[in-house]
């Protein structure tokens, strides 16, 4: 079993400075119940789980996403678990290594949608504030993000694994957002230490890429900048 992923614009476009909202969340919600993304002018992180869409803000607050809000970038699927594994106490590095091993069993050529239910002794996440114009590239975004660490917390992670050959569509490797079980805090994951996790996967064998009408210049160092931004604390 495999599913369709819809990508509203691409990580390459966003990372080149295309932060203007173009796609309405009314449209985005129609194509998936599980996803990640952002908002007009980069105002927060988006996570969707079980059909509920949330905006995670840099001040620590969480909002339900309104249909008339817009996104420069989002990806989603209608998630149905295909297989699952469980992990106990692991660091994020250990987790990533085990995830790559599991993915290799099912085909490294696929993207994967991932949903995790778990408990963590520590999660470090970031959220971006509204980005002023003229928009910077992703290299400068680290200067306006807020990093938070949550201790002894339960919740969910939604994310995607992307193989290297699709790294202009989505983030190479793992791109994951977190929200706690009371749905009042979260962010883009930078690091964690897990107590226990149930990890559900489904393969993506169909990708629909929706392209906006914005004209941007791309540059050769883009992939290095995306990788640096994903790991920055």
Q: List pLDDT tens digits, range 145-194.
A: 899 999 999 999 999 999 999 998 999 999 999 999 999 999 999 999 99
Residue 93's contacts (CB-CB under 8 Å, 6 or more residues apart) are none
* pLDDT tens readout for residues 26-80: 999 999 999 999 999 999 999 999 999 999 998 889 999 999 999 999 999 999 9
pLDDT band at 102 (very low <50, low <70, confident <90, very high): very high
Instruction: For the chain, give the longest Cα–Cα distance.
Output: 46
* Model pLDDT, residue 57: 95
Residue 103's contacts (CB-CB under 8 Å, 6 or more residues apart) are 110, 112, 161, 201
The Cα 214–Cα 208 span in angstroms is 18
Arithmetic mean of pLDDT, 19-30 = 97
- State whether the Cα torsion 182-188-192-195 is positive or negative: positive
Indicate whether 219 pLDDT > 60. no
* Model pLDDT, residue 71: 98
pTM above 0.85, yes or no: yes
Mind listing the domains of the chain with CATH numbers? 2-231 (3.30.1330.80)
- From 44-58, 122-136, 191-205, the region with the lowest mean pLDDT: 122-136
* Model pLDDT, residue 60: 84
Q: Which of the 8 DSSP states describes residue 104?
A: H
* Model pLDDT, residue 164: 94
Strands (E) across 98-172 are located at: 111-128, 145-162
Residue 56's contacts (CB-CB under 8 Å, 6 or more residues apart) are 44, 45, 46, 47, 62, 127, 177, 179, 185, 186, 187
* Model pLDDT, residue 232: 53
Return mean pLDDT, the chain: 92
- Please choose, from the candidates 55, 71, 92, 73, the residue with its C-alpha nearest in 3D space to the C-alpha of residue 13: 73
* Model pLDDT, residue 233: 46
What are the two backbone dihedrals, phi and then psi, of residue 101, each rounded to the nearest 5 degrees? -65, -40
- State whether the Cα torsion 89-94-96-99 is positive or negative: negative
Check whether the bond before 134 is cis (ω within 30° of 0).
Answer: yes
From residue 112, alpha-carbon distances to 10, 88, 137, 172, 179 in Å are 16, 21, 27, 12, 19
Arithmetic mean of pLDDT, 204-226 = 77
- From 14-18, 58-62, 68-72, 214-218, the region with the lowest mean pLDDT: 214-218
Indicate whether 222 pLDDT > 90. no
What are the two backbone dihedrals, phi and then psi, of residue 93, each rounded to the nearest 5 degrees? -60, -45
* Model pLDDT, residue 225: 61
């Amino acid at each position: 079993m495999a599913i369709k992923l819809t990508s509203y614009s691409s990580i390459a476009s966003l990372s080149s400075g295309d932060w203007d909202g173009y796609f309405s969340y009314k449209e985005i919600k129609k194509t998936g119940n599980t996803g990640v993304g952002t908002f007009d002018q980069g105002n927060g992180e988006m996570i969707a789980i079980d059909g509920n869409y949330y905006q995670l803000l840099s001040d620590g607050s969480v909002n339900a996403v309104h249909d008339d809000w817009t996104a420069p970038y989002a990806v989603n699927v209608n998630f149905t678990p295909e297989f699952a594994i469980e992990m106990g106490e692991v660091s994020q590095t250990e987790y990533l290594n085990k995830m790559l091993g599991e993915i290799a069993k099912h085909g490294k050529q696929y993207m994967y949608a991932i949903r995790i239910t778990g408990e963590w002794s520590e999660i470090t996440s970031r959220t971006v504030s509204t980005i002023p114009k003229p928009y910077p590239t992703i290299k400068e975004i680290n200067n306006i993000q807020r990093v938070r660490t949550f201790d002894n917390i339960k919740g969910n992670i939604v994310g995607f694994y992307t193989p290297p050959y699709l790294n202009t569509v989505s983030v190479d490797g793992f791109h994951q957002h977190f929200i706690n079980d009371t749905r009042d805090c979260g962010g883009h994951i930078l690091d964690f230490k897990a107590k226990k996790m149930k990890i559900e996967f489904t393969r993506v064998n169909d990708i629909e890429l929706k392209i906006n009408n914005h004209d941007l210049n791309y540059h050769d160092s883009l992939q290095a900048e995306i990788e640096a931004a994903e790991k920055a604390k």
